[in-house]
Structure 1
Amino acid sequence: MPIAIKMPALSPTMEEGTLAKWLVKVGDSVSAGDIMAEIETDKATMEFEAVDEGVIAHIQVDEGTEGVAVGTVIATLAEEGEDAGSVAPVGDGASAAPAAAAAEEAPSAATAPSAPTPAPTPAASPGNRVIASPLAKRIAEQKGIDLAGVTGSGPNGRIVKADVDSAKPAAAASASTAAPAAAPAPAAAPVEAQDFGIPHEVEKLSGMRKTIARRLTESKQTVPHIYLTVDIRLDALLKLRGELNAALESQGVKLSVNDLMIKALGKSLEAVPACNVQFAGDSMLKFSRADVSVAVSIPNGLITPIITDAGSKAISKISTEMKDLATRAKDGKLAPEEYQGGTASLSNMGMFGIKQFEAVINPPQGMIMAIGAGDKRPYVVDDSLQIASVMSATGSFDHRAIDGADGAQLMKAFKEMIEAPLGLVA
């Protein structure tokens, strides 16, 4: 019998994704392990492998479709021995959902669809749970619309974007009539670009860029940041790096300054466990291991692959892992567990000549270390003014979870690790 190919959950938190590209077409034979499509999540573009053998009979979601919910039927596979030409699409009822999702994402979806033959059912389920697409929920939240009063026209009464748009006046009016004193202030209208007659082009945001925008805005609005900066002398670290690279040359390992910074942050978090924490509402998560997320710039934005147990891991191992993670991050080949999690982050912009900056905390983590460029500066050494290689490091801390004194202890420990670096190889 025909097999339904469904939108996979490529990460534990994935609810929807973009079907970026089909790598097969109707009539193609596939085997288990064949790459069928590229799917863009909020973190990366990942390959989707076939788990069954057969012939592609129908493609039910076009490539480029955004907001495809996990579990949506995206194609139908005819099993071996079946005539693909006579196989009907699997899950016609379920596949109406991606069509509705695609329609609500499309620019032409501003007009409300005509009502279906049966009367639309209310979106609230018997348990008073509102059934709505993620996009419809976001728009309703932005505009202050109560979805409980909106009738859905999607499958099983699901509310889609067109329903929110068409129900806006009524929903807003009923909300203000029911409780005028408690009515929420209207959300700010979406910012519209103004070109002022300047030649330009419009580039649609990728799912990753949308997620970056949302998470960083959320971080700055909800996390009280405290910033602590120290100047760190690098001469001893650079000398040690040269000696280690000479010793490791036969093994094909070449350490970067960033590898040593990852190790130093890991050991510092172990030394000051009060900073290896996360705020969790009415509780605190205290970690016994330092997993350092490292910011890596990729074509579509930014991703943070994780060096697990960075404080205990050999620097040569950190270097090897980091090179592999960075390469696969830029190719969109990271597995979810390789970039989700981490107890703290490190962002190094020194290679770009940035002297000092304040990084935004990556929720729900409690801190991030921002590394600036090392350069020759006048510096007091042994009570005399000398020229030394110095960098500035700034820690951003979630003040709900980490007190300023504890943050200062971490910065002190980090500075000492860098300036007396033999402890990194102990």
Structure 2
Amino acid sequence: MATQVVMPKLSPTMEEGQLARWLKKEGDKVGIGEPLAEIDTDKATMEAQALATGVLRKIFVQAGETVPLGAIIAIIAEPDEDISALLSKAESGASSEENKQSIQASVQAGGDGAQVELARVVPDGARTVATIKGEPLAGDVGGAPTQQQTPPPPQPQTPPAGKADEPPATPVASGNGQGQQPTSGVRLIVSPIAARMAAEAGINLQALSGTGPGGRIVKRDIEAAISAGGQQQAAPAQPSTAPPPQPATTPQTETPPEVPTVVSPPQTQAAPKPAVDGASAYRDEPVSTMRSTIARRLSSSIGPVPHFFLTTEIEMDRAAELRRSLNELEAELKISLNDLIIKAAAVALIQHPMVNASFQDKSLRFYERADIGVAVAIDEGLITPVIRSADRKSVGQIGREVRELAERARARKLTPEEYTGATFSISNLGMFGIDEFTAVINPPEAAILAVGASTPKPVVRDGQVSVRQIMRVTMSCDHRVVDGATGAKFLQTLKKILENPLLLMA
């Protein structure tokens, strides 16, 4: 039975998805559980597996294209099965909305066939089927190499010259899926922003060693190459050393060997002439799926959520001393001040349940545990991995989880369960020297804590002036849930705990 493959819902906040790359091409056999495609969601790149068996007969959505949930992206059927009705239905787009309404079903019976959602999703890079120098090569696919769904270039009328040396590894942009896989199975993994920067700066990606997870070339690698003064810029093409062509004896009947091509970065607008003489030139770049989601969610937060802000100062000398003592006793702990702040906030939330709550239209929802979202900056935007039940965990446990989740977030390997469902969030910009700022609430949470730098300041105590490490924090509150006095009492408790951090050990 023919099946329609539709864009799945891979995270609670996902409304559309970008097809990063196909792991199968038209005409390939597909089995249940086989990796079919990589999807860029609003938070991560996910590898999706098929829930139907047959042949990938038709692909509608190409690598780099973004479509809404429920949109038909491919058809799987038997080799000789008539799919004309499904082709007409898919090309008209008539079924996209009905698919979206039933997106939670994995397999649904339909008039012309079943609708199959890409399912059994695992984070990008979780599969490993090839190695390079003993290191796993994340995201590779066994079998035939993935090909870009575009027509091949015209073939020459005369047979090609003798086989030249094996071409170098081909960069593959892991975020947009453009470019072809080399037949040797060896490839470079490049983030979209790194590919774009390299193209603009003329950097030869093949000369770089990636410092990202699994050897991925990321933004900082390109910046380092640029800072090196262009030492790794692309070299001019060398003349071929292949032997002279041999005269043709028979017409060519076999497809010539596939030659890898360098990945094409996302298209950008050519720099137009400024509208005003003397004004700066500019360029327009497509908005990433993650950045679009950030813009949409924060805009929706500022509108319907009535924010108000409370700021206080906290003396961090004792907290800093406790941190030093713990790290000296056990170097493996690597506790940071932020870990202490997370633990203190979690304890305070349990004592002030109104702050550990959310507005649910006709009810208020109170949470039994403190699940703390910790803002992490990544190349593509911002994500908040969640420390579950932080009130029940030690500072050491919190520190380990924060480091592990932050690393997975930067590698875009978080699962939806790891970055959704927080009851309270913390955003810390103190490491950048920011003294004070306000943050936007992440609905449906009722509050978010913005943490500034801890800096030495003069403080008057009993008529005496002394220097203390002062940290300013600002809490953004949803006034539908948290009143001014409620928020102030929460901050008082947080201040008391951090100024007397041995309370965390009680």
- Normalising by structure 1, report the TM-score: 0.70
Q: Offset at 1:384?
A: 2.1
8 Å CA contact retained: 1:344, 1:365? yes
- Give the alignment of 1:53-92 within 5 angstroms: 55-70=55-70, 72-77=71-76, 83=79, 88=83, 91-92=86-87
Q: Offset at 1:356?
A: 0.4
> 2:354 aligned to 266, 274, 277, which one?
274
Q: Offset at 1:198?
A: 2.6
Gaps of 5+ in 2: 97-273
CA distance in 2, matches of 1:318, 1:87: 56
Q: Offset at 1:2?
A: 4.7
What is the aligned partner in structure 2 of residue 164 from structure 1? none
Give, as a single letter, the amino acid of the residue that structure 2 aligns with 1:41: T
CA distance in 2, matches of 1:89, 1:338: 42
- Structure 1, 254-263 or 345-354: larger mean CA deviation: 254-263
CA distance in 2, matches of 1:402, 1:198: 46
The answer to whether 1:202 aligns with 2:284 is yes
8 Å CA contact retained: 1:315, 1:425? no
Give, as a single letter, the amino acid of the residue that structure 2 aligns with 1:236: R
What is the aligned partner in structure 1 of residue 396 from structure 2? 316
In structure 2, the CA distance between the partners of 1:368 and 1:13, relative to structure 1 (3 Å rule), is: closer
CA distance in 2, matches of 1:68, 1:91: 19
8 Å CA contact retained: 1:259, 1:315? yes
> 1:380 aligned to 460, 484, 488, which one?
460
Give, as a single letter, the amino acid of the residue that structure 2 aligns with 1:212: I
CA distance in 1, matches of 2:88, 2:505: 61
- Give the alignment of 1:284-295 within 5 angstroms: 284-295=364-375
What is the aligned partner in structure 2 of residue 36 from structure 1? 36
> Once the two structures are superposed, what CA deviation does each residue of 1:25-52 show, in whole Å capped at 9, x if it has no partner?
2344555555432212233332223345
In structure 2, the CA distance between the partners of 1:94 and 1:313, relative to structure 1 (3 Å rule), is: farther
Give, as a single letter, the amino acid of the residue that structure 2 aligns with 1:413: T
> 2:308 aligned to 226, 244, 250, which one?
226
Give, as a single letter, the amino acid of the residue that structure 1 aligns with 2:473: A
Between the two proteins, the alignment pairs up a number of residues equal to 327
CA distance in 2, matches of 1:326, 1:92: 43
> Once the two structures are superposed, what CA deviation does each residue of 1:307-365 show, in whole Å capped at 9, x if it has no partner?
11111111121112111211111222211122122111100000111000011111111
What is the aligned partner in structure 1 of residue 90 from structure 2? 95
8 Å CA contact retained: 1:68, 1:98? no
Q: Offset at 1:93?
A: 4.0
Gaps of 5+ in 1: 102-193
**Percent identity between the aligned chains?**
44
In structure 2, the CA distance between the partners of 1:416 and 1:383, relative to structure 1 (3 Å rule), is: farther
Secondary structure class of the residue paired with 1:359 = coil
Q: Offset at 1:12?
A: 3.6
Secondary structure class of the residue paired with 1:37 = strand
What is the aligned partner in structure 2 of residue 259 from structure 1? 339
What is the aligned partner in structure 2 of residue 297 from structure 1? 377
CA distance in 2, matches of 1:394, 1:256: 20
CA distance in 2, matches of 1:413, 1:89: 67
8 Å CA contact retained: 2:6, 2:69? no
* Cα RMSD after superposing both structures: 2.5
CA distance in 1, matches of 2:462, 2:49: 62
Secondary structure class of the residue paired with 1:268 = helix
> 2:387 aligned to 299, 303, 307, which one?
307
- Structure 1, 4-13 or 317-326: larger mean CA deviation: 4-13
Higher helix residue share: 1
CA distance in 2, matches of 1:347, 1:396: 11
What is the aligned partner in structure 2 of residue 357 from structure 1? 437
